Structure 1
Amino acid sequence: VADEVRKLAEKSARSAGEIDQITREVARRSGSVRGALDDGLGHLASSRQMADAVMQVLGAANSLVVEVGEGLDRIAGATGAQRNASESVTARIGEIAGMARSNNDALAHTVQSARELGELAVRLQESVSRFRF
């Protein structure tokens, strides 16, 4: 019986040593896991901060895009107004050119009438001078 107790004690001692060794290995690995978890949490926090910064930049960029769009709308409106004004000026210039042509025609007619009147005056003077005493 003593031999069996001794063998059982040796076996228990070996098992206790193995359990101690396994416990130390688990403790070592759990420390590594804890370190990896801490590193992962740090990276996660850093990633979140970067994502927040990217969101802010994208929000600012979106605001600028909206402002540019509004500016382009104003430019398009101003360009349309300028086009309308240019068309109106062109139409008025056409009207003025028409009036200038009419005035030129009237002036040419007046000059022609003045010549004819001058010729008529000369003939009248010649006719009157024949009847002078």
Structure 2
Amino acid sequence: MRITSFRDMDTTEDFEFVEEKMGEYFRWGIADFYSLQQATYWIGDILRKEPSANFEVRARLSEGDDVDEYERIVLYEGDQCFDSWFLEEKASFMAPYSMILFLNKDTNVAYAIEKNEFDEPGHVKYLCEIRK
């Protein structure tokens, strides 16, 4: 078995008995697919580690397949993003959005979470990536 995402780890057993080399067992990339819960924890951990950074959080609500037909929403703007805003949100707040971008305006690094409903029918995954 080749592990290509964190979600795959939930289905593997007996990891301590794996004989394959790292490069054969894992595949690392610039982005990963997570469940909604994993994606929420991933971005929360990033925000927690950058408490004084000035963030702008933008979301996209998409009604169809046309990328040009979506509503852009600013969810938060300012510093203390983790303590002042993120911790006060409902744990599943990201579910209705097709994409959320957390832009660190101090470093110009963006953390993107994009809903991917087309990979496995009936199972939604979230593409999480760091954009520099």
Q: TM-score range by the shorter chain?
A: under 0.3
Higher normalized helix content (fraction of residues)? 1
TM-score by length of 1: 0.14
Higher relative contact order (CA 8 A, sep 6+): 2
Higher normalized strand content (fraction of residues)? 2
TM-score by length of 2: 0.14
Which structure is larger by alpha-carbon Rg, 1 or 2? 1
